[in-house]
């Protein structure tokens, strides 16, 4: 099927680009090649990238970072077009915040690229090695996955973050952003592709596939001969669409229904600071807290204070029966609404939080196990035994003691940027950085050995 695909510079597109073009340095037009041909171009590039020296990869990333500054005006103009369309189509504040670029955010994106330059190259790293009794030498060595497709919604910064991580780890990348960020993604993919090829990386290292809706998404998900891994960053609808069609392995950077549990032994002033940061510092992201659980022994002291602080920050508070009773008794229930069963599994991605009262750390763990998404969970406590029970009992990619869930991030973890946060267990979990974009092979050396 002929797809409506677009390709960034640095991408081999049969016949060249045609149709409506974007602005000069962000030129990405409609390509006559279909999705399969674009993915094959990435496959050809990946074979070369696997052997590219670290210095060349770092030079490509430095060129991308520099290009972000040199082409800032064009990128911001493209982003403004997306923002205007988003406002006109009624996008919510959380999505608009994800979509928005400005000079400071572009500078931060470039900074993240340079952080990746400073990281060690995982390719060629010897994970393990030994000599067998028969004299064969065996080494387990880290190698690229090959071609990584990243499917993402709203966030144009992912275009650069994902590209930098894939190129540094020796992978070609196929980018498939959402229509709401079409102009931003096109401009960013163009400058990244131009910069990468100018620094010596092969044509096809950076591919942008754009347009065509769910039909094209399904075609991308079936490219098992040319794509090694798909990483989607989006909601449950995207996950369901891929689960129904994908023949390529998928690591889901899925929803974040994150909890903060305030234990009976918590420092309540510290707990308030952590809860407010986890909920309000940037509410539209997957590592923001969506639920607050409070031990019954501190509920009367803590709930009125935290409800007032959250309300003052513009957060809508939804309370279970026990929390509502405490707040009503304290005269702090104004503006608080009753939580429904459907609140507990929901990822709000905005200024809303649901609060529940529990009787023990075990009940908190049970609640999180039932409703959590396996992303990031936090306990606030001065009780070492409670903290240890929470760490062992909660099944999530990241478990925090006395710290905000907002730290679940490749940059915060010292991994440079990230492609996403995996909530599954194979083959990677948590922030997806350089090493998570690799696999390994066994290199075996002998001296005329034969098996008998």
- Does residue 195 carry a pLDDT above 70? yes
* pLDDT tens string 398-414: 999 999 999 999 889 98
**CB neighbour class for 310 (10 Å; exposed up to 12, middle 13-18, buried from 19):** buried
Name the more confident of 323 and 237: 323
Question: Cα dihedral sign for 84, 86, 89, 90?
Answer: negative
Q: What is the pLDDT, as a whole number, of residue 333?
A: 93
Neighbouring residues of 28: CB distance < 8 A, sequence distance ≥ 6: 6, 7, 8, 9, 17, 21, 22, 186, 187, 189, 190, 208, 210
Q: What is the pLDDT, as a whole number, of residue 24?
A: 29
Q: What is the pLDDT, as a whole number, of residue 33?
A: 54
Question: Cα dihedral sign for 409, 414, 416, 420?
Answer: negative
- Does residue 343 carry a pLDDT above 50? yes
Question: Residue 383 — left, alpha, or beta (φ > 0 → left; ψ -120 to 50 → alpha)?
Answer: beta
* pLDDT tens string 115-156: 999 999 999 999 999 999 999 999 999 999 999 999 998 889
Neighbouring residues of 384: CB distance < 8 A, sequence distance ≥ 6: none
All structural domains of the chain, each given as residue ranges with its CATH number in brackets, are: 5-253+431-440 (3.40.605.10), 258-412 (3.40.309.10)
Beta bridge partners of 352: 316
Please tell me the number of Cα atoms within 13 Å of 440 on its side-chain side: 17
Quickly count: other Cβ atoms within 10 Å of residue 332's Cβ: 18
- Tokens 């509410």 -> residue: 283
Q: What is the pLDDT, as a whole number, of residue 304?
A: 98
- Does residue 234 carry a pLDDT above 70? yes
* pLDDT tens string 8-26: 434 433 323 333 333 323 3
pTM to 2 decimal places: 0.84
Cα Rg of the chain (Å, integer): 24
Q: What is the pLDDT, as a whole number, of residue 416?
A: 75
- Does residue 205 carry a pLDDT above 50? yes
Q: How far apart are the first and last CA of the chain?
A: 51
* pLDDT confidence band for 255 (50 / 70 / 90): confident
Taking alpha carbons only, the member of 106, 108, 111 closest to residue 68 is: 106
Q: What is the pLDDT, as a whole number, of residue 212?
A: 65
Neighbouring residues of 452: CB distance < 8 A, sequence distance ≥ 6: none
Q: What is the pLDDT, as a whole number, of residue 232?
A: 92
- Does residue 261 carry a pLDDT above 50? yes
């Amino acid at each position: 099927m002929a797809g409506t695909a677009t390709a960034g510079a640095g991408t081999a597109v049969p016949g060249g680009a045609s149709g409506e073009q974007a602005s000069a340095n962000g030129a990405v037009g409609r390509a006559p090649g279909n999705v399969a041909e674009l993915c094959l171009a990435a496959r050809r590039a990946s074979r070369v990238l696997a052997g590219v020296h670290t210095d060349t990869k770092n030079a490509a990333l430095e060129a991308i970072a520099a290009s972000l500054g040199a082409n800032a005006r064009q990128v911001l103009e493209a982003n403004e077009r997306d923002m205007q369309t988003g406002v006109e189509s009624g996008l919510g504040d959380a999505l608009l915040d994800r979509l928005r670029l400005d000079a400071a955010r572009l500078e931060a994106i470039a900074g993240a690229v340079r952080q990746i330059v400073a990281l060690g190259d995982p390719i060629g790293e010897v994970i393990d090695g030994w000599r067998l009794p028969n004299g064969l030498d065996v080494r387990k060595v880290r190698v690229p996955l090959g071609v990584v497709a990243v499917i993402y919604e709203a966030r144009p910064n992912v275009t650069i973050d994902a590209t930098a991580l894939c190129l540094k780890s020796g992978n070609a990348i196929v980018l498939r952003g959402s229509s709401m960020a079409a102009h931003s993604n096109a401009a960013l993919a163009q400058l990244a592709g131009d910069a990468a090829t100018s620094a010596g990386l092969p044509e096809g290292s950076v591919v942008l596939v754009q347009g065509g809706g769910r039909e094209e998404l399904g075609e991308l998900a079936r490219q098992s001969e040319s794509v090694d891994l798909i990483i989607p960053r989006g909601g449950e609808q995207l996950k369901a669409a891929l689960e129904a069609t994908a023949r390529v392995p998928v690591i889901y950077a899925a929803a974040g229904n994150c909890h903060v549990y305030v234990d009976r032994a918590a420092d309540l002033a510290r707990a308030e600071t952590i809860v407010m940061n986890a909920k309000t510092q940037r509410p539209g992201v997957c590592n923001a807290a969506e639920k607050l659980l409070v031990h019954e022994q501190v509920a009367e002291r803590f709930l009125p204070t935290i409800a007032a602080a959250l309300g003052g920050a513009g957060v809508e508070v939804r309370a279970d029966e026990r929390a509502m009773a405490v707040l009503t008794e304290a005269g702090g229930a104004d503006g608080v609404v009753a939580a429904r069963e459907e609140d507990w599994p929901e990822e709000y991605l905005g200024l809303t939080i649901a609060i529940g009262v529990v009787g023990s750390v075990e009940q908190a763990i049970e609640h999180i196990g039932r409703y959590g998404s396996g992303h990031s969970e936090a306990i606030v406590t001065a009780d070492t035994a409670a903290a240890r029970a929470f760490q062992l009992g909660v099944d999530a990619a990241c478990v925090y003691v006395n710290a905000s869930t907002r730290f679940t991030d490749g940059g915060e973890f010292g991994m440079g940027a990230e492609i996403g946060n995996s909530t599954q267990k194979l083959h990677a979990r948590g922030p997806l950085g350089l090493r998570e974009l690799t696999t390994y092979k066994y290199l075996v050396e002998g001296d005329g050995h034969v098996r008998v």
